[in-house]
Amino acid sequence: MLDSLNHDFTPLFLRKLNTDLANCLAVEERNKLEDKLVRLMVLRHRLVVRELKRLPASTLPSFAENELNVNQYLEEVVRDFQSQVKKEIVDFFRAQKAAKSYK
């Protein structure tokens, strides 16, 4: 996962944050880490925007293109996470309904 977040133009401070983000996303019980995940994503966004403002024109397009790929990857991960949560909720309500009808 970390390889999907870092690229040749990723600065050191963003690599550190990406490590924390990858660790958070890898945890099985993500629902307990939801607040931390949101904080890391917001911080990552701020760091990327700051880096975009600081970069010279020669490396700006490469960094931006790589970051677009990283953002697409993160969107996929979050979409998968949302799908898992929806499925768990549906399964929970089905189990509850089945338990009530069993009684």
Q: Please state the domain count of the chain.
A: 1
With 80 as the cut, is the pLDDT of residue 3 above it? yes
Give the model confidence (pLDDT) of 37-66 as tens digits.
889 999 999 999 999 999 999 999 999 999
**Residue 51 phi, psi (nearest 5):** -65, -40
What one-letter code names the amino acid at 37? L
Q: How many CB atoms lie within 10 A of CB 17?
A: 20
pTM to 2 decimal places? 0.72
Range(s) of the domain holding residue 8? 2-102
The model's pLDDT over 20-42, given as tens digits with 9 standing for 90+, comes to 999 888 875 655 667 888 899 99
